[in-house]
Chains A and B, each alone.
Chain A
Amino acid sequence: MDSFPSHSSGSSPQMSAEAFKDQLKNQLAQAYAEEFLETVRGKCFEKCITKPGSSLSGGESSCISRCVERYIEATGIISKALFSASR
C-alpha cells in the first residue's frame, strides 16, 4: 500500500477517485491471490509430497492438481456455510 499516487502519471499529482478505486481493488485482489496461492502450496505440499524423491512422480502431480481443485472447492463450501441462509 505504499505507492498509490506515484503509480499515476508522474506529472499529475492528483488521481481521480475512480483510478484510486481501481488501483485499490487491484492491489487487494493481487494480495488475496498471492496469499491464497501460498496457502494452497503449503497444504498440497503437505498432502501430496510426503516423501520427496529425485523427481516429481506422476502420482504426485495428479495429487497436486486434485488437491488444488479440492482446496478451491473447500473455500466455496466454507463460504457457503458461513453465509448461507440456513444459519
Chain B
Amino acid sequence: MENFNNLDSPDLQGFITQEKERAMVNEMVAKLTSACWDKCITSTPGTKFSSSESTCLSNCAQRYMDMSLIIMKRFQNMH
C-alpha cells in the first residue's frame, strides 16, 4: 500500500467505506441465507419453492433481525 500516494483522499475514503458497507451487507445476506435455508428447506429442492418455503425464508430473515435487536438491547442494559 505504500506505493499508493493518495489513499487518504476523501474520495477514496468514501469509496472504501461504501465498499465495506456493501461487503458487510453481502456477508449478512449470505449468512442468513445459509441459516434460513437449513431451517426452511427441509425437503429435496424442487423446481419452485412452495409458498410455505418462501414465507419461511422471509420470516426467518425478519425474525433474525428482531432477535438481533433484542440481544443488542439486552447487552446495552449491562454495564
Interface string of B29-61 (1 = CB under 8 A from A): 110111011000100111101000010011111
Whether A17 lies near B9 (C-beta < 8 A) is yes
Bound-complex Cα distance A65 to B27 (A): 24
Q: Which of B1, B15, B44, B54 contacts A63 (CB 8 A)?
A: B44
Main secondary structure of the interface of B (DSSP, over half): helix
Residue A13 at the chain B interface, CB threshold 8 Å = yes
Contacts of A39 in B (CB 8 A): 30, 33-34
Residue A55 at the chain B interface, CB threshold 8 Å = no
Contacts of A73 in B (CB 8 A): 49
Whether A70 lies near B57 (C-beta < 8 A) is no
Residue A41 at the chain B interface, CB threshold 8 Å = no
Q: Which of A20, A32, A47, A80 contacts B4 (CB 8 A)?
A: A20
Residue B28 at the chain A interface, CB threshold 8 Å = yes
Which 8 A-B pairs rank lowest in CB-CB distance, beginning with the nearest? A5-B3, A81-B61, A81-B58, A67-B45, A70-B45, A66-B45, A77-B57, A78-B61
Residues of A within 8 A of B (CB): 4-5, 13-15, 17, 20-21, 24-25, 28, 32, 35-36, 39, 43-44, 47-48, 63, 66-67, 69-71, 73-75, 77-82, 87
Residues of B within 8 A of A (CB): 1-6, 9, 11-12, 15-16, 19, 22-23, 26, 28-30, 32-34, 36-37, 41, 44-47, 49, 54, 57-62, 65
